[in-house]
């Protein structure tokens, strides 16, 4: 009797895991580059790690790494440009590489403190549609620039 109950519970657990596996995969689906991305008017001209705009629309939260390889050192945001839906929270997470970095909106709508320790983070919710440009103030001239495109 005990062995039968254990077998049943084990089978039920495997079935539940298999049923939710599709949900987990859908939520963590790999983003694709936009084929018709916005014009950044030269914003990324000197940003070596900019390869296009990744589409994260439909997600509640997106992470961007701070201090990824690029621009002659660890002076990049990864990814450099993303597209999100309105009300998406973007969380910047520091890698701990490239010295101290901050995240500052060009229009002044958000600004983090400087951090250098790995795992430090800063969040901002994007409600307003449009292109939101940002920099690391200390390394902007090296090309440490990013953008969040908000739209549907």
pLDDT digits (tens, 9 = 90+) for 104-120: 999 999 999 999 999 99
Q: What is the pLDDT of residue 4?
A: 54
Burial class of residue 13, CB neighbours in 10 A (0-12, 13-18, 19+): exposed
CA distance from start to end of the chain: 56
Q: DSSP assignment, residue 130?
A: E
Instruction: Read off the pLDDT band of 15 (50, 70, 90).
Output: very low
Burial class of residue 80, CB neighbours in 10 A (0-12, 13-18, 19+): buried
Helix (H) or strand (E) holding 13: helix 2-27
Percent of the chain topping pLDDT 90? 79
Percent of the chain topping pLDDT 70? 82
pTM of the predicted model, to two decimals? Answer: 0.81
Considering the chain, what is the average pLDDT of its residues? Answer: 88
Please tell me whether residue 14 adopts helix, strand or coil conformation. helix
The count of residues in the chain is: 152
Between 116 and 29, residue with greater pLDDT? 116
């Amino acid at each position: 009797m005990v062995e039968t109950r254990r077998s049943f519970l084990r089978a039920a657990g495997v079935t539940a895991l298999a049923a939710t596996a599709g949900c987990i995969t859908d939520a963590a689906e790999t983003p694709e580059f936009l084929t018709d991305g916005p014009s950044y008017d030269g914003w990324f001209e000197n940003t070596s790690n900019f390869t296009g705009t990744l589409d994260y629309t439909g997600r509640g939260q997106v992470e961007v790494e701070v201090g990824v390889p690029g621009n002659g050192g660890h002076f990049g945001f990864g990814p450099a440009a993303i597209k999100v839906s309105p009300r998406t929270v973007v969380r910047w997470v520091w890698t701990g590489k490239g010295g101290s970095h901050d995240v500052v909106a060009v229009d002044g709508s958000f600004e983090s403190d400087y951090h250098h320790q790995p795992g430090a983070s800063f969040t901002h919710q994007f409600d307003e549609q449009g292109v939101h440009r940002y920099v690391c103030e200390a390394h902007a001239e090296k090309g440490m620039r990013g953008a969040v495109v908000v739209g549907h």
